[in-house]
Amino acid sequence: MRHADRTVALTVQVEGLVDQLQGGAWRGVGAESFYAEMRDLILPTLRRLEDTLQFAGEGTGKIHTILCEAEEEAARLFRGTQDTTTTQKREGDPAPKVTPTQGPPTSTPTPTPTPGFRLTDVAQEELSDFFSQRDTDIPADVRDKYLTNPQMMQYFQQTLALLASHVQSGGAPLTPQQFYDMCLTVTNDPGTALILSHNITKAMTRRDHSVIQWDKTNTNPLTYTFTWNGQTTTYTFDTSNFHRDALATYNGNPSVFYAMFSPTALGTSDGGDWYHYYLNAAGAYYAASGQMLYGVNRGSLTSSILDGTIDSTMGQMFASGVDSPAYTGWRYANSLSFLEGAKYGDTQPETSREGQIHRQGALYGLELAGVQPDSSWRWYVPTAGAAGSLLDTTIDLANDTYQIFDPFGTQIP
């Protein structure tokens, strides 16, 4: 509740300053414009922020209970089940090895999820919440549905074992399509496989805010642990056995990431490009395949603002005579990409580079849905940080766009 209290104090302080200015007889056209903006925009926005933080503060009190119930449900569904929790890095190994520093690792059996499990009732509003926030900020019900429910975590664990075994046996780093194919062998459902691909690559590249405990515990030998529901599996890698196309570092530090994932497929500027690729693919796929639900009221101010911004941006991107599920999916993926760069883009080269990777992901999602984009469709890349202000909750496509491309990467003048 500290953030809510600070926001209340800030609002009171701002109101006091405005009152002082008015009391000091500051008048004129500029003054009246300032007072109107404070009264009609700034102060109402601060009050909405108070409400949002208050709502979030109340919600965090329920998270512990929800997680405990999830653990109990997992134990009920899977006899002898094991799962994960949280530590510091990621990567994996199917046959845990003894390390000099840790002794025999805990054996972690891998129960088989319910046959045929797949994500259902996938809603655009839920995906927006899930894809646009850090794990720790995602609403608990959405995080449980798409990430931490026992079925998805068993898929996560099974895929991690396959991935680690592939690296340990000297296999080449996987392309985005090859890793998706690996996830598909576990889930047997395209949409679920895309979400799983997203979850694993995000956990490995955004550890500071991940609820998944994939942690590097040693560099010689290169060792990682995966922990869930209090049970830990240790994965050890001999870098001398890495494939010749692999890199043994990530941002200059010893790592297995680019031995698992191709360093040339999406480049090495940011490993987070991988999970962004899959989130854009998933958004495009679910809409284009006709599986997306719409109009789900998430019941929170933050979600409502996010949904409104996404819907507005999609509407501004509509430039084709006829709508279709595929075109909706394309614009949804582009809106997610645009919002990311407009809110959080630091430099234009970085934002433009990421926009192209996001576009490739959206194309892949359409391909999996069995459709091709129309050449008239457009992909918009934002000006970096164009909507970066805390008070900026809208996208003005005409003013915030830096570049426009056709679906296949040709820039439109």
Structural domain containing residue 316: 273-405
What is the pLDDT, as a whole number, of residue 26? 60
Contact 196, 207 (CB under 8 A): no
For residues 174 and 310, state if they share a domain: no
Residue 45 in any domain: the answer is yes
Residue 204 in any domain: the answer is yes
Contact 202, 275 (CB under 8 A): yes
Count of domains observed in the chain: 3
Residue 266 in any domain: the answer is no
Residue 268 in any domain: the answer is no
Residue 410 in any domain: the answer is no
Q: Which of 238, 412, 400 is nearest to 316 (CA)?
A: 400
Residue 265 in any domain: the answer is no
Residue 267 in any domain: the answer is no
Q: Of 3-17, 205-219, 241-255, which gets the smallest average pLDDT?
A: 3-17
For residues 49 and 64, state if they share a domain: yes
For residues 18 and 87, state if they share a domain: no
Digit-coded pLDDT (tens) for 289-322: 999 999 988 888 888 899 999 999 999 999 867 7
Residue 99 in any domain: the answer is yes
For residues 40 and 83, state if they share a domain: no
For residues 47 and 170, state if they share a domain: no
E strand or H helix that includes residue 236: strand 231-237
Digit-coded pLDDT (tens) for 74-93: 433 333 333 333 333 333 33
Digit-coded pLDDT (tens) for 23-81: 655 666 555 666 576 677 777 776 676 666 665 555 554 554 554 454 444 433 333 33
For residues 98 and 233, state if they share a domain: yes
For residues 118 and 26, state if they share a domain: no
- Give the Å distances, CA to CA, from 202 to 78, 119, 131, 269, 307: 26, 18, 10, 15, 22
For residues 209 and 98, state if they share a domain: yes
Domain end marker among 53, 75, 97: 75
For residues 346 and 383, state if they share a domain: yes
**Bridge partners, residue 405, by sequence:** 379, 411
